[in-house]
């Protein structure tokens, strides 16, 4: 038996990163889940989801990287608790954008990948049907790929895989259902940690996707 | 009077990053110095240098980002204390290479730059006369520039400046002397924190550069 291919998966505990992890597992990769604590409002709840899903997926490795620096940086309603989390969806880049978050996350993942000799980093970014952040596009992923190729050892071959980048959220939910993703363990709400608020952009997008997919969302909502 | 141009400077406390800070100051930038604590052996001493130089340069802002994740990653003699720091210089990439360190550092700097509306990130990397790390080349800097351009807001214009990238260490020391860099406050040794060891690659390169520049290095060495 040959050694299993090894992957790092950026894992928030939400639907997209959990489906990305399921795609990696389905592709035969050994999973090493990487979560980030950057002072986001719902970190306590996200961490519970991360741990539960890592167990459910029998992940080989799991780590939580401390990026509290992003809380110092602020400039986002997810990390600056004085800024309100907007209700509903908006035009343009919403205030929930965290400056260059995925650049930081992919860079930290690249360091771990190089040390582990992992050949892939899975990330659940979505370009068209995501929240409209600049660091969730295919172009951005390609540019980070080039930076990682250039800035790591010549023998390190690390490929960023963004399997959801051109999917709709509805397609992601359907794919997750097919791959038996434990949706009840995931957390998407930007605002609350006990019962999902149901009115922030992330809750609205999640509810709509389940409805369109014709699948019952197992979590409860306040509204 | 127009507002001062604003820069983030990656600042370890060593010679290269201090000269890069002096170049930024000389270019009329407001300085915001960013130091990283990633579990490196000499962090205590580096931090003292960082603080002293930030004061000497009258930096507008200064922050220390915690990147202990790199200590968990290990895979480097700077962060894994069980690996010896090599004496002398070596062929190939030395064990002091820290996986994708400058990718992580530039990404964190980009987040702060975006929040501060800084227009430049100064980094003291050297391609030809550095320690031979893959994340210190002009190609790497260009690739990170493209990733930052792609992954930040369209209105954020952040330029990475690597003024030393094609200089020799001797030229860097000469430039530092011209810009009145307080070399006595800087720290380069990879190994020790009280008196510089004088035999690690970093000490050897520093001593040689001062000698070739015909300038007296104000710090003491054990050997």
Q: How far is A136 from chain B (nearest CA, A)?
A: 8
* Residue in chain B nearest A70 by alpha carbon: B111
Q: Which domains does chain A have, with CATH numbers?
A: 5-168 (3.40.50.620)
- The pTM (predicted TM-score) of the whole model is 0.97
DSSP secondary structure string, A165-202? Answer: TT--HHHHHHHHHHTT--GGG----SS-SSSB-S-BHH
In this prediction, residue B1 has a pLDDT band, given cuts at 50, 70 and 90, of low
Contact A107 B111 (CB under 8 A): no
Q: Look at residue A129 in the predicted model and tell me its pLDDT.
A: 87
Contact B73 A111 (CB under 8 A): yes
Residues of A in contact with B67 (CB under 8 A): 108
Q: Look at residue A3 in the predicted model and tell me its pLDDT.
A: 73
Q: With 70 as the cut, is the pLDDT of residue B2 above it?
A: no
Given the structure tokens 């550092």, which residue do they identify? B105
Q: Look at residue B131 in the predicted model and tell me its pLDDT.
A: 85
Contact A139 B149 (CB under 8 A): no
End-to-end CA, chain A:
51
Contact B146 A147 (CB under 8 A): yes
pLDDT in tens, chain A (223 residues): 567 899 999 999 999 999 999 999 999 999 999 999 999 999 999 999 999 999 999 999 999 999 999 999 999 999 999 999 999 877 789 999 999 999 999 999 999 999 999 999 999 999 988 889 999 999 999 999 999 999 999 999 999 999 999 999 999 999 999 999 999 999 999 998 899 999 999 999 999 999 999 999 999 999 9
What are the pLDDT digits (tens) for B142-155?
999 999 999 999 99
* Residue in chain A nearest B74 by alpha carbon: A115
Nearest by CB to B73, from A67, A70, A112: name it.
A112
Q: Look at residue A2 in the predicted model and tell me its pLDDT.
A: 63
**B153-158 contacts, C-beta under 8 A, 24 or more apart:** B153/A93, B153/A97, B153/A134, B153/B114, B154/A134, B156/B113, B156/B114, B156/B117, B157/B119, B158/B110, B158/B113, B158/B114, B158/B118, B158/B119, B158/B120, B158/B121
* Residue in chain B nearest A137 by alpha carbon: B151
Q: How far is A217 from chain B (nearest CA, A)?
A: 31
Contact A111 B69 (CB under 8 A): yes
């Amino acid at each position: 038996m040959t050694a299993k291919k090894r992957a790092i998966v950026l894992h928030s505990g939400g639907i997209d990163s959990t489906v990305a992890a399921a795609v990696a597992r389905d592709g035969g990769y050994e999973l090493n889940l990487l979560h980030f604590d950057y002072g986001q409002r719902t970190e306590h709840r996200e961490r519970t989801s991360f741990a539960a899903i890592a167990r459910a997926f029998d992940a080989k490795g799991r780590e939580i990287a401390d990026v509290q620096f992003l809380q110092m940086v602020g400039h986002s309603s997810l990390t600056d608790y004085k800024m309100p989390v907007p209700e509903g969806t908006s035009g343009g880049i919403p205030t929930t954008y965290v400056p260059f978050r995925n650049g930081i996350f992919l860079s930290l993942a690249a360091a771990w990948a190089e040390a582990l000799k992992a050949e892939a980093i899975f990330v659940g970014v979505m370009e068209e049907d995501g929240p409209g952040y600049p660091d969730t596009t295919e172009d951005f992923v390609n540019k980070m790929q080039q930076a990682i190729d250039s800035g790591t050892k010549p023998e390190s071959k690390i490929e960023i895989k963004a399997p959801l980048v051109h999917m709709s959220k509805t397609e992601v939910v359907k794919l997750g259902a097919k791959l038996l993703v434990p949706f009840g363990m995931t957390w998407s709400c930007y605002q609350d940690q006990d019962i999902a608020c149901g009115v922030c952009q992330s809750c609205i997008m999640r509810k709509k996707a389940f409805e369109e997919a014709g699948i019952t969302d197992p979590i409860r909502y306040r509204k």
